[in-house]
Structure 1
Amino acid sequence: MTATTTDESTAYVPTAETLRAVLSPAGRPTPPGPLAASVVFGWRAMLRIKHVPEQLFDVTAFPLIMTLMFTYLFGGALADSPRAYLQFFLPGILVSSVVMITMYTGVGLNTDIEKGVFDRFRTLPVWRPAALVGMIFGDLLRYVIASLVILAVGLALGFRPSGGVLGVVAAIALLVVFSFAFSWIWTYFGLVLRSEKSVMGVSMMVLMPLTFLSNVYVDPSTMPGWLQAFVNVNPISHLVTAIRGLMAGELDGPAIVWTFVAGALFVVVFGSLTMHRYNRR
């Protein structure tokens, strides 16, 4: 003889007061503003460095190799000694190395787009360009790290800035501000081009003439007249001149003004193109 028992479960029925408390619109959090959202996405970019430290290779090893290689490769030929050449060269290689690594902003953006990450970001109730602006904010840390690495190597090799600590800090600040503006070029390329290899290829085609056809490595007065015409209007040349002056304790007003003008143009032109493309994609 088998006894059968039946378990009766009691369904929970919430009261009207409970439903109103849970579904009340008064409890909704306030949407973040543009600055707060951009800072959060910037923090995301820095956390990626924490979890993938290999991303710091381009801001540590690359500047170190460039500084050592050019100092001892060209120092004896272009100056009395590598140490003497370093006094002229280090501000230039500082600019060249940091400007070079700005292209990884576009590469990272293109990678996130191809993986579908930005499709998720666009559905969030935040300021739409926050993901782009935050990514560039996060890259500012990489620019500072690269600058400090080059400066430390230069000091170890004998570089002595006459402008002291204030001059060096002002020079690095100016470089970081310009690099932030310059990065908008690569965000546009990251949105327009289809692969990260394409972004890197086009970026190098732009960066190589700008950095080598400038006053980074040699005095422009030794160049042909037609080449000097390009070097004198190159924004990288104005940036290098301004940073050399700050590190030497001399304020080069025209070079600083032209650097800010060039940076403002990069933000206005390529920032607008980037936002237009991002909103339509």
Structure 2
Amino acid sequence: MTAVTERAPVTARPALVADSVALTVRHLRLMMRRPASIVGGLVLPVIFAVLFLTVFGRVMDRAGLDYPQYMMPAIVIQSATFAAMSGSVWAAEDASSGMINRLRAMPIARPAPVFSLLIGETVRSVVGAIVLLALGYGFGFRFQTGPLGVLAFLGLVIVVTAAICLPYLVLGYRLADVEPTQALGGVIYFPLLLVSTLFVPKAAYPGWLQPVVEYQPLSCFAEALRAVSTDGYTDAAGTVGLALIWAAGLLVTFGIIAPRVFGRTS
């Protein structure tokens, strides 16, 4: 009788968490070796904060607005957006360099490369937020809501950064080219920045534009950070709830799209 050769069992697919952690470590190491990442994640937000608080601080104080208290959450959101645009560039580089093809040939979970970039950029954004808050204390920013406000603020930073980064990662993987990714990323960001409550209150805009300004995602994210850091904020629960709805919608929608875009990128 012919001997029957048993096939070796197929190796089980490594866990998503383990794959994501391994690739996150790779991403953080590469980030530390690239000075532009440190400049974009830490230095530029600090420069913006110093310029805005120095140039407009006294003017806003005369207008009755505690500008450091108003401004620091906006700079944190801006820092998160810089991290998102940086993540899109990393995704485009991986897609255009052949790194994605190498990863797809390996026995790793398909969402792991996307999650690793997401985690890495979120870590950078949180570190940047801590640096900005330390700077803000020098200009008069205070957590008026106590330790719980600090924890809620940092928790929101994590959620908001992930919600902003994920669409940009999808953009980078989809375009698979650094230059158009950078250009389109700016085209998406700057209109949202200019028509928002990040740097000026809603009342500064024409009446017909105010609903758009109030309910667009960047405004909702900034207002939520202000609500958890400043006492006496009107309808703080509703403001935070609206920001979480936006974040959940972005994460769910682009969380479904991201692995598919990664799988189709060549």
1:206-233, Cα deviation, whole Å (9 max, x unpaired): 1112122111111112321122021122
1:83 Cα deviation after fit: 9.5
In the alignment, structure 2 segments of 5+ residues that lack a partner are 1-6
1:65-96, Cα deviation, whole Å (9 max, x unpaired): 00011111222222229994212211222222
Equivalent residue in structure 2 for 1:87, among 51, 63, 69? 69
Equivalent residue in structure 2 for 1:227, among 202, 209, 213? 209
In the alignment, the residues of structure 2 paired with residue 155 and residue 114 of structure 1 have an alpha-carbon distance, to the nearest angstrom, of 42
Report the TM-score, using the length of structure 2 for normalisation.
0.88
1:175-214 alignment runs, 5 A limit: 175-214=157-196
Question: 4+ residue stretches of structure 1 with deviation over 6 A?
Answer: none
CA contact (8 A) 2:228 2:236 kept: yes
Equivalent residue in structure 2 for 1:275, among 250, 259, 263? 259
In the alignment, the residues of structure 2 paired with residue 100 and residue 134 of structure 1 have an alpha-carbon distance, to the nearest angstrom, of 17
> How many residues are matched?
259
1:110 Cα deviation after fit: 0.4
In the alignment, the residues of structure 1 paired with residue 66 and residue 256 of structure 2 have an alpha-carbon distance, to the nearest angstrom, of 44
Say yes or no: does 1:32 pair with 2:23.
no
1:121-136 alignment runs, 5 A limit: 121-136=103-118
**Distance verdict in 2 for CA 1:53–1:194, change over 3 Å:** closer
Output the aligned Cα RMSD: 2.5
CA contact (8 A) 1:75 1:81 kept: no
In the alignment, the residues of structure 1 paired with residue 262 and residue 116 of structure 2 have an alpha-carbon distance, to the nearest angstrom, of 14
In the alignment, the residues of structure 2 paired with residue 232 and residue 83 of structure 1 have an alpha-carbon distance, to the nearest angstrom, of 18
1:102-154, Cα deviation, whole Å (9 max, x unpaired): 11111101011111111110011111121111111111210111101111111
1:97-246 alignment runs, 5 A limit: 97-246=79-228
Say yes or no: does 1:70 pair with 2:52.
yes
Bigger Rg, which one: 1
In the alignment, structure 1 segments of 5+ residues that lack a partner are 1-23
Between 1:61-70 and 1:175-184, the stretch displaced more is: 175-184
Alignment match, 1:253: 237
1:165-216, Cα deviation, whole Å (9 max, x unpaired): 3312311220221111221211121122242121111111111121221111
Between 1:102-111 and 1:250-259, the stretch displaced more is: 250-259
Report the TM-score, using the length of structure 1 for normalisation.
0.84
**Partner SS for 2:62:** coil
